[in-house]
Chains A and B, each alone.
Chain A
Amino acid sequence: MIGLPAEFEQFHWMVDMVQNVDLGLVVLDKDFNIQVWNGFMTHHSGKQAHDVIGKSIFEVFPEIQKEWFVIKAKPVFDLGCRSFVTWRQRPYLFKCRNVRPITQQADYMYQNVTLNPMRTPTGEIKSLFLSIQDATAEAMTENRKSDIKG
C-alpha cells in the first residue's frame, strides 16, 4: 500500500490547487458562459465567482470583442487543438486592475492566455478552459530593452 490519503481528500487537494494556483483558470461552455472562476481571477479582476458563474463572458467583460474571441475558440471546439492569445499581439484578455500600489509598474496586467479543449469521457468537446498567465514582468523587461535601443 502506498500511503496516499483517501480519494475525497485528494479531490480536495485538487480543488485547493485550482483555487490558489498563481494562474487564472476559467471554464467556458459552448455558449461562452462562465462555469469555473478560480481565486486568481477573483483576486485580479475583483469579480467574485458567484457574480460571474453562469453569465456570458461577453456580458461580464464587455471589452472582449465577441467576433474575435469566437474565431479564437473555433479551432478549440472544432479541431480539439489549443488556441493562444499572447501579450505581444494583445496585451490582455481580461483587463485586470492594479492590485499592487507600490511595486506594480504597469497600469494593467499583461497576459498570455491559452484556450484548452476539455474532453468529456466520450471524447466530445463541450467546454474549454482558459489559463491566464501574468506576463507583466516579461513585457516590462522587453519594453525597457526596446526603450534603450530606440
Chain B
Amino acid sequence: MSYPVLICDDSALARKQMARSLPASLNADITFAVNGLDALEKLEQQEFKLMFLDLTMPELDGYGTLEQIQKRNIIIDVVVVSGDIQPKAKQKVERLGAKDFIQKPMDKEHLKSVLRSLVNPAEISQVTSNRTIELPILKRRDIYMEVANVSIGRAADALARHFDVFVHLPLPNVNIFEVTELHMALADLADNDQVSGVCQGFNGEGIAGEALVLLSDSSITDLKRLMKVPAESVELEELELLMDVSNILVGSFLNGLGQQAEVRFFQGQPVLLGQHIPIESIIESTSGSFQKTMTFEVSYNIDNTSIRCDLLFMFVDESLPILDNKLSYLMEDF
C-alpha cells in the first residue's frame, strides 16, 4: 500500500521541491493541487493521509483551506509549508488545526522530523515501488515567483517584528514590464495627489535595479503611530517618514532576496518623486532607455491600519543572467 499525500502550492517550483524532498521510504503516492479550491476538490474525491499546504495562494489561500477542512470534517494531517514566517501566522494556522509548520525554503532535516512525528511506520509498505511521479515542468518565471514569495515572507516577518503588527501577505507578481506601462503608472501618480512615490536604486554583486514604492498618503497617521514617533517632542516630517518607511520595505525585501541568492544588496539614497525630481522629467528621460524589464510587483497591507503600499522592483537586463546564475541551485536538485 502506498501512502497518499496531497501537495498544495500555487508555485510549480515549490510543488516540485516538496515532492522531491519526500524520502523514498515513505513510498508516497503524490497528488498535486494548485490552490485551496483545487485541494478541497481532491480531498472530496480521494482519501489522503497527509497534506502539505502553502499559505499564500490565489482562489483560496491556506487559511481558508484549513477552515474548510475543519468545517467539512475531513480527517487529514496538514503540515503548513510557507514563506510567511511571522509568529502570528504560525499561531493562526495552529488554531486552525495544522499539525506542523515548515518554513520555506525548506530544511530537509526539519521535514524528516515532522514526518517521523506524523507518519506511523506500520502504515507504509516495505515494498518500494519505482513509481515515477509526474513532476510539474518549471519555467524561469516559476523560480522567480517562488523566490519573490519567500522574499516577501522574510520582509513581512521583518516588518511584523519591527512594528509588532500582522502583515497580510499578498501574492507577488513577476512580470515583464514595458516602459509604456511604467509611464502610465507614473502619469497616474502625477495626477493623484493622494499617493506618494519613492524611488531607490539597489545593487549587489552586479545585480542592479531600482525599486519604486507607492504609498497612499492616508497611511501617514498610522505610520506615525507604528513608528512610535513621539507626538510633539520630535518633528519627524511627513516626507522623511515616507522615505523611511519605503526604505524599510525595500530593504527588507532585498534582504529576503539576498538570503536566497546569497548576495548582499545595498540600497541607494531614496528619491521622492514629484518633490525631488519632477515626474514629467522621469517620463521623458526613461523614454527609449529600455523597452522591457523584469519586474517583481509586491503589495502590503498591515492589519488594523489603512496602510496600503505597492512596491515595484525593476532589474536591469544585464542583471538577469547573474541572478539566474545565483538562483541556479534551486534547479540543481532536479
Contacts and interface: CB of A to CB of B under 8 A. Distances in A.
Nearest to A72: B244
Contacts of A71: 227-229, 234, 236, 244
Contacts of B269: 84, 86, 112, 114
A84 B252 CA distance: 15
Nearest to B239: A89
A72 B272 CA distance: 18
A65 B234 contact: yes
Given A67-B230, A68-B234, A75-B251, A81 B267 contact: yes
Interface residues of A, number: 20
A65 B229 CA distance: 13
Contacts of B239: 89
Query: Size band of the B side of the interface?
Result: 20 to 34
B276 A81 contact: no
Nearest to B254: A81
A79 B237 contact: no
A83 B244 contact: yes
B247 A81 contact: yes
Interface string A85-108: 010111000000000000000000
Interface string B142-185: 00000000000000001001100000000000000000000000
Interface in A9-43: none
Interface string B211-246: 000000000000000011110011011011001100
B270 interface: yes
Given A75-B162, A88-B276, A81 B252 contact: yes
A74 interface: yes
A89 B275 CA distance: 11
A89 B240 contact: yes
A78 B247 CA distance: 13
